[in-house]
């Protein structure tokens, strides 16, 4: 259907060891997949055996030579369209082997800008944000100094759960970004994951969110955001109960039901997975040293945010459309927060 009826003339690629899921196949052999139209087979560990077995199957007539010719043609066609042969070998290109460009300041600045412009402000009760840099700031939460959470899955490792801060040389956590901004303005920063403090702060910035995940491990049956032992929500409630204004910075790669966390926060920022440049968050939630808005919020929701944990299908063109935050929502500092107390059941 893809190639003949729809006229697709590019290559079809299998998934990672996907042929191993085909009945009668293994990681080093699968004539059925090639005969069915797979042009490039992703076999990460048994590729030598797969090559030899494929050659043997072509010689035996199990795989027609015409099928191999078609696959090779499609792969070469794509490479020609990408001008790969005109560019020469990768090692011969102008920027080859210039490792000093990896993490270069100019590139990090672009990434930091992307963080600033992707943040979405869901709540800002009483205009709490932007914060003064001269403040006494408590930074808390499991994500504040956690580059693994900040970058998410498919980063260095498959699920992203094995990474530590040391795996991200030159990167800036949210804590580091806040510390730099506040100290520049003459304020002070106290950091405690569990929110403990000896001197009452002017404000608490609590950074939390999903643990890193990729395919499989990230599957959920409910949109309800649940931290282990409900620790994040309890931390927010504890700080609010102490009379401390709370700014929540939330890491997530998808819309989640967070009504309890929204209720327990005075301001709520969805930071998605900001990557290596956590300082971009401080750029927006803090004023500049002159007390003016440093950077306003520009981010808008690219999908509808659920009102209920059961709203697994929620799209703006649905016949019945009842999101908590509609597609395209995102407050700026010129808008007043209209969010009241939300139902939590």
Catalytic-residue membership of 215: yes
- Strand ranges in the chain using DSSP code E only, listed in sequence order: 120-124, 136-140, 188-191, 203-209, 246-251, 267-272
The DSSP letter of residue 66 is H
What is the residue whose two structure tokens read 């697994």?
312
Indicate the pairing of strand 136-140 with strand 267-272.
Answer: unpaired
What's the rounded Cα separation, in Å, for the pair 342 and 200?
28
The DSSP H or E segment spanning 117 is helix 105-118
Within 10 Å of residue 199's Cβ, how many Cβ atoms?
8
Catalytic residue, candidates 69, 162, 215, 322: 215
- Do 214 and 163 contact (CB within 8 A), yes or no? no
Count of positions (residues) in the chain: 345
Q: Which are the catalytic amino acids? A: 15, 215
């Amino acid at each position: 259907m893809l190639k003949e009826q729809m006229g697709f003339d590019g290559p079809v690629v299998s998934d990672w060891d996907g042929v191993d899921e085909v009945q009668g196949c293994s990681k080093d052999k699968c004539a059925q997949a090639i005969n069915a139209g797979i042009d490039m087979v992703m076999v990460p560990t048994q590729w030598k055996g797969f090559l030899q077995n494929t050659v043997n199957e072509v010689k035996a007539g199990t795989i027609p030579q015409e099928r191999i010719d078609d696959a090779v043609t499609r792969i070469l066609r794509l490479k020609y369209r990408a001008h790969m042969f005109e560019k020469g070998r990768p090692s011969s290109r102008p920027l080859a082997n210039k490792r000093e460009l990896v993490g270069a300041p100019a590139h990090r600045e672009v990434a930091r800008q992307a963080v600033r412009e992707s943040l979405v402000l869901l709540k800002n009760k009483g205009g709490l944000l932007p914060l003064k840099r001269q403040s006494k700031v408590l930074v808390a939460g499991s994500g504040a100094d956690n580059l693994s959470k900040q970058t998410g899955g498919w980063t260095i490792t498959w699920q992203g759960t094995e990474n530590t801060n040391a795996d991200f040389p030159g990167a800036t956590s949210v804590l580091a970004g806040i510390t730099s901004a506040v100290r520049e303005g003459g304020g002070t920063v106290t950091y405690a994951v569990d929110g403990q403090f000896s001197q009452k702060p002017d404000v608490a910035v609590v950074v939390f969110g999903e643990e890193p995940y990729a395919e499989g491990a990230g599957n959920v049956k409910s949109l309800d955001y649940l931290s282990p032992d409900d620790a994040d929500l309890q931390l927010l409630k504890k700080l609010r109960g102490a009379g401390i204004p709370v700014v929540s910075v939330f890491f997530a790669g998808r819309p989640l039901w967070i009504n309890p966390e929204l209720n327990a926060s005075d301001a709520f920022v969805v930071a998605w997975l900001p990557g290596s440049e956590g300082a971009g968050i401080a750029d927006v939630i803090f004023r500049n040293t002159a007390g003016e808005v440093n950077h306003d919020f520009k981010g808008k929701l690219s999908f509808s945010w659920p009102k209920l944990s059961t709203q697994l299908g929620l799209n703006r063109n649905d016949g019945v459309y009842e999101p908590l935050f509609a597609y395209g929502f995102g407050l700026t500092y010129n808008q007043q927060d209209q969010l009241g107390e939300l139902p939590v059941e």
